[in-house]
Amino acid sequence: MLYELTNNTTGQAAPERVIGAQGNTKYILEVVKLSAWYGKAKAVNDISMKIKAQAITALIGPSGCGKSTLIRCMNRMHEVSDGGKVSGQVLLDGSDIYGREVDAVTIRRRIGMVFQKPTAFPTMSIFDNVASGINLTRLWYRKGELQDLVVHSLKKAALWEEVKNKLNRSGASLSGGQQQRLCIARAIAIEPEILLMDEPCSALDPISTLKIEELMLEIKKDYTVVIVTHNMQQAARVSDCTGFLLLGELIEFAPTKELFSVPHDKRTEDYITGRFG
């Protein structure tokens, strides 16, 4: 399954459907023949795909289909898991993030991540949470530094109005939805090029979910967003392209409108019409 792959090195199959055929599309991330394992269990099987810059790419599929693993491979977080192993390439602006000389820490600063459960650091204030990505990579810093950056990031994450009077309160004092936006603020404070979101709304109520979705549409002007979701409506609402995964394989990858209206693969059709999953 090499949808959308124009990689010369493989010399395989012409792209079945080209996303953004206008010709001016910029791809920022390219996954090439990526497989991933947990110990001996293979979770991602030979996936290739291209991620469009300054767009939202959604990955959908039933639980256990490997979508979270795939996204974790994109900023080298998969290798943090027990027994996490990867083969294949992930090209960021053309160079492999799994290259021999490449430091995972540097990659994670360029490709940020927001997790399913809100992970505000409970021991830090709201302010310090946002500043943590910068502060904890420097040897010395003064408390309260980075005022502008923190304010800017909180505004971007649509959280500023709600927390501007309590920046010194603990990050854990916020509601789940607010914590998740705090995590987004924290992630964009380090100014990554790509933001990966692993089911960022599945622990949130519908109103918080709506806020995060609006936020995603807002930040895609500056960042590339890849979101994993098992909520198909969400993928349909926010994303530009959607990939459907099943049992560790990328079944179909196409512009969202197309995938949801004229799916080419029978399995995609079955899934989006609710026949399984």
CB of 270 to other proteins, least distance (A): 33
- Judged by beta carbon, residue 5 or residue 183, the one nearer other proteins is 183
CB of 123 to other proteins, least distance (A): 4
CB of 27 to other proteins, least distance (A): 23
- Judged by beta carbon, residue 55 or residue 130, the one nearer other proteins is 130
Do the beta carbons of residue 215 and residue 184 sit within 8 Å? yes
CA distance linking residue 44 with residue 61, whole number of Å: 13
Distance of CA 68 to the CA centre of its chain: 9
Kindly list the residues in this chain that would bind other proteins in the complex (CB under 8 A).
75, 77, 80, 105-109, 112-113, 115, 117, 119, 121-124, 132-133, 135-137, 170, 183, 186-187, 190
- Judged by beta carbon, residue 84 or residue 263, the one nearer other proteins is 84
Rg (CA), the chain: 19
CB of 199 to other proteins, least distance (A): 13
Do the beta carbons of residue 193 and residue 224 sit within 8 Å? yes
CB of 209 to other proteins, least distance (A): 20
- Judged by beta carbon, residue 176 or residue 277, the one nearer other proteins is 176
CB of 40 to other proteins, least distance (A): 17
- Judged by beta carbon, residue 28 or residue 113, the one nearer other proteins is 113
* DSSP code for 229: -
Q: How far is CA 30 from CA 61, 91, 110, in A?
A: 20, 5, 15
The DSSP line for 91-151 is: EETTEETT-TT--HHHHHHHEEEE-SS----TTSBHHHHHHHHHHTTSS---TT--HHHHH
- Judged by beta carbon, residue 109 or residue 237, the one nearer other proteins is 109
Amino acid identity for residue 234 in this structure: Q
